[in-house]
Amino acid sequence: MRKFIAYVFVAVMMAGSPAAHAVQPDEIMSDPAKEARARDLSRELRCMVCQNQSIDDSDAPLARDLRLLVRERIATGDSDSQVIDFLVARYGEFVLLKPRFTPHTVLLWLLPPLALIGGGVALWVYNRRRTSAGAAADPALLHLTAEEEARLERLLAAEAPDKKA
């Protein structure tokens, strides 16, 4: 229980800020609110020399430079989107881990929801077609043919002695 209270305490302190990073002690800004903003931004920015790592995670010197740059911009009073725009202007879209919705990335953003909707519609159509086809064939399915009846009898008869044993 004491541990639980500790978590909750931490939760209140952190207000839902995740972590995992390679931020160095000397980079941290004195204003915690600005530092939190810098951390959130860092998680969305790619370390361009790494494999899909954010600058928040990366140990690379370039990532450190970018982290310092982000903090510098924040210190001069830039808003989050201004910082992002500045970095994109300087390094291109490649720096964003979450690509913007542009003509280039339409498919990227739309394909996953379309796959879900398309799959759902396909299932619905398929189900309708099957049930209507199934209903037509239903009377035949409901009753066993004479041949099947006979086979069932045989099987049941063969099973019976087993059960006693």
Partner 1 sequence: MIAEAGHYALVLALALALIQSTVPLLGARWGDHALMNVARSTALAQLLFAAVSFGLLTLLHVVSDFSVVNVFENSHSMKPLLYKITGVWGNHEGSMLLWVSILALFGGLVAAFGNNLPLSLRAHVLAVQGWIAAAFYLFILMTSNPFLRIASPPIEGRDLNPVLQDIGLAVHPPMLYLGYVGFSISFSFAVAALIEGRIDAAWARWVRPWTLVAWIFLTLGIAMGSYWAYYELGWGGWWFWDPVENASLMPWLAGTALLHSAVVMEKRNALKVWTILLSILTFSLSLLGTFLVRSGVLTSVHAFATDPTRGVFILLILCLFIGGSLSLYAWRASALKQGGLFAPISREGALVLNNLFLTTACTTVFIGTLYPLALEVLTGDKISVGAPFFNLTFGPLFVPLMVAMPFGPLLAWKRGDLAGASQRLMAAGIAALIAIAVLWAWIRGGATFAPLAIGLGIFVVAGALTDLVERTALFRAPLTTAFARARGLPRATWGTALAHAGIGVALIGIVCETTWNSEYIGSMKQNETATVAGYQLRLDGVTQRQGPNFREMIAQFTVTLDGETLRVMTPSKRNFTTRGSSTTEAALLTRGASQIYISLGDANADGAIAVRIYHKPLVLLIWWGPVLMAFGGMLSLSDRRLRVGAPKPAKPARALQPAE
Binding region for partner 1 (CB under 8 A) = 3, 6-16, 18-26, 28, 43-44, 46, 51-54, 57, 59, 92-99, 104-105, 107-109, 111-112, 115-116, 119-120, 123, 127, 130-131, 134, 163
CB of 143 to partner 1, least distance (A): 16
DSSP 8-state class, residue 40: H
CB of 66 to partner 1, least distance (A): 13
Residue whose CB is less far from partner 1, 129 or 151: 129
In this structure, the chain runs to a length of 165
Q: Are 55 and 66 a contacting pair, CB within 8 Å?
A: yes
Residue whose CB is less far from partner 1, 76 or 128: 128
CB of 50 to partner 1, least distance (A): 9
Q: Give me 13's structure tokens.
A: 């302190």
Residue whose CB is less far from partner 1, 51 or 76: 51
Closest CA to 19 of 37, 34, 40, 2: 40
CB of 61 to partner 1, least distance (A): 12
- Partnered with residue 96 across adjacent β-strands are 45
| 30 vs 16: CA distance, rounded Å | 20
Residue whose CB is less far from partner 1, 43 or 73: 43
| 38 vs 44: CA distance, rounded Å | 10
